[in-house]
Amino acid sequence: MRAHWKSWYNETHIKQLHHRGVEMVRLPIGDWTLNPYGPYIGCMDGAEEHIQWMLDTCAKHNISVLLDVHAVRGGQNPFDNGGRAQKVIWINDTHFSHWPNSQAMWEGEWNITEGKYDHINYDNLQWSLDVTENLLTRWGNHSALAAFEPVNEPWSNSNIDVLKDFYRAVRKLVQMYAPQAYFVFHNSFIYSPSVWNDMFRDDDIYKVVMDHHYY
């Protein structure tokens, strides 16, 4: 992974972005960065150092960073960018089924038959809050950090009330450890303003940004 990170982008790339007028880059990371678990133990060594390098290099070239937790424990969606493909069923030696039985396990155990979570996994949610606090403790005061997003693309079947509470808790951490940074949240592919209008008061939306991925 160290070899991959060093070859994927280097200071020349960052310098070229600056010359082209780019003001901000999005840096996707895993929630295992500072506290590896399961299959990530050992194989992701060096991630913390490279994130530090990225922030320092971007600061050097006047580019700010959106730090984005791109994959969380259990998977916030069943897609290729959720960190884990859930419920893959092998049909035979050469074919498998994924999408009909795919699900996200971050918020809890998804009941495909009933189309809802059987229970909410508050341990996973607390883990993500702890990860947020650790990341912000580590880099919240870095001069390049301009925004923080705690989870990328939670799927559209998310329990929205639970997700909103998570977002509210994360925003408080951002305000505490990185008051200069914007709190960014993904809309879980639910585009109706009425769903999100009550997450914060109208007079309490300073440095709040909705992340909208329209494919």
Share of the chain above pLDDT 90, in %: 80
Pair of tokens at residue 93: 């030696």
CATH number for position 134: 3.20.20.80
17 neighbors 25 (Cβ within 8 angstroms) = yes
Q: What type of residue is 120?
A: I
Residue 24 is predicted with a pLDDT of 98
Query: Which of 7-21, 77-91, 118-132 shows the lowest per-residue confidence on average (mean pLDDT)?
Result: 77-91
| Count, residues in the chain | 215
Number of domains comprising the chain = 1
**pLDDT tens for residues 81-119?**
776 667 788 999 999 887 777 788 899 988 888 888 999
Q: Which domain holds residue 20?
A: 2-211
Residue 167 is predicted with a pLDDT of 98
Q: Residue 69 pLDDT > 80, yes or no?
A: yes
Q: How many CB atoms lie within 10 A of CB 31?
A: 28
What mean pLDDT comes out for the span 153-159?
A: 94
Q: Residue 31 pLDDT > 70, yes or no?
A: yes
Averaged pLDDT score across all residues of the chain: 93
Residue 202 is predicted with a pLDDT of 92
Residue 161 is predicted with a pLDDT of 96
Residue 83 is predicted with a pLDDT of 66
